[in-house]
A and B are shown apart, each in its own frame.
Chain A
Amino acid sequence: MAQSAQMRQANRVTLIPDTTKTPAAAADDSIAPPSPLRGKPAPAFTLMDLDGKKVSLSDFKGHPLVVNFWGTYCAPCKVEMPWLQEFSKKYASDGFEVLGVTYDAEVGKDTIAKDAQKLGVTYPVLLSDSKAEKAYLSDSEVLPMSFYVDKTGKVIEVTAGLGPKDELEAKVKETIAAGAQ
């Protein structure tokens, strides 16, 4: 199972240009490194939601969940979020939860809320801060970025970029199952 997950992750390639190289060189050797969080406890955070309420990761203790970093400028994120919304409902009986964390919180709550409403998102949408970004994203700026956290609070999978919907659902199922073992 773990090997399969690693193979899938290896197939997800994100090219990031390095400004110290020529354009040609920049495009052919930059692969997003595997997240150091995989297999480790999900870093704790307390962030504000769109109503100004503090929401902590610990509030979801015992729940399998996805922590999904997204941005208002990110079109692939807006493809993925309705899928996450759908799965949050479909697997609610398994205790599955989704937390959206807005990377570009500086655009303001109104813009973020408008986007979330347009996308039909009803799961909690939180405003990121530098501490959470450092803990989860390190130096990466890739969006969307999702962290699959099992019931024990361990990160079992990390994905960068948009993948197929069925692959996302498979990861949700793995996250639910992993916590049950």
Chain B
Amino acid sequence: MMRCAVLLAGILAVLAGTSRAQIVDMDAPPKPRAYVLYAAEAQTVPAGKPGVLQLRFHVVPPFHINSHTPKSELLIPTTLALEHGDAVKAGALDYPAGQPYSFSFNPSEKLDVYAGDFTLKLPVTATAGEHTVDGILKYQACDNASCYPPRTLPVKVVFTAK
């Protein structure tokens, strides 16, 4: 329950910020919309030792997005590009496996998607102190009958190494 409350608070806290950022990022979109939300939460890793940051995302129902490894080369995978300072050494992002999904009118084609909550894991080693990792999540959303243009979602991961 507590975890849900924290997640919701994080979502609400970043909602306004991400929406504004998307308006700036897109090429004159008439009505930018977000289909994925980032749940910002304070995290702690051991200073100078390997740790793992959890980046929690929520795909707004009833939508889904392609996983990092969609079944078709024609589909746009979910990716997260990261930038950070020298005080942080980051390893390869660990993307979760997707869920199988088929459109009702074409059950033979199996897609691989994220729906609901999904978490990316980022291995880091950082010096003692507060750090920020900036990222851009790129994704493309659909519902059970329609698809929507690719979107980007700015992500700011703030964590403490101690």
Contacts and interface: CB of A to CB of B under 8 A. Distances in A.
B146 A79 contact: no
B81 interface: no
A76 B61 contact: no
B127 to A, nearest CB: 36
A177 interface: no
Given A19-B34, A23-B11, A27-B60, A73 B146 contact: no
Interface in A60-101: 71-79
A74 B142 contact: yes
Determine the main DSSP class of B at the interface with A: loop
Nearest to B32: A19
Interface of B: 8, 11-12, 15, 18-19, 22, 30-35, 37, 58, 60-63, 72, 74-76, 103, 105-106, 109, 111, 140, 142-143, 145-150
Chain A interface size range: 35 or more
A17, A20, A74 interface centre (most CB from chain B within 10 Å): A17
B14 to A, nearest CB: 11
Contact of B111 (A20, A75, A164): A75
Contacts of B15: 19, 22
B149 A104 contact: yes
Contacts of A26: 60
9 contacts: A15-B143, A19-B19, A19-B22, A27-B61, A73-B150, A75-B142, A76-B103, A76-B105, A161-B146
A171 B76 CA distance: 31
A139 B142 contact: no
